Amino acid sequence: MQVKCTICDSVESIDDHCFEAKRLRNKRILMHLCQTCYNRVGKKTLARHATGKFRLYSEKKTVDEFI
C-alpha cells in the first residue's frame, strides 16, 4: 500500500501485510514517517535520551563516591 509521510509528504510504498500497514488501515489518523524523517527524529530522540542517561549515571557515580 502507499503511505504518505506526515512530516515531508513523500510517498512510500510498504508491504500490505506488514504490521504498520495493518495499523494504518485500522486507524487512518496514525502518523507515518518515511525512513529519512524516522532516522532524523529517532536520532534526535536517542541523543536526548543518551544525554539524560549520561547525567543520571554521573549523578549516581558522584553520590557513590561520597558514600
Residues near Zn ion (CB under 5 A):
5, 7-8, 34, 37
Of 35 and 51, nearer to Zn ion (C-beta) is 35
Of 8 and 18, nearer to Zn ion (C-beta) is 8
Helix (H, G, I), strand (E, B) or coil at 4: strand
Of 6 and 58, nearer to Zn ion (C-beta) is 6
Residue 29: CB minimum distance to Zn ion, A: 17
13 in Cβ contact with 3 (< 8 Å): yes
What's the grid cell of residue 33?
A: 514517517
What's the grid cell of residue 31?
A: 502518523
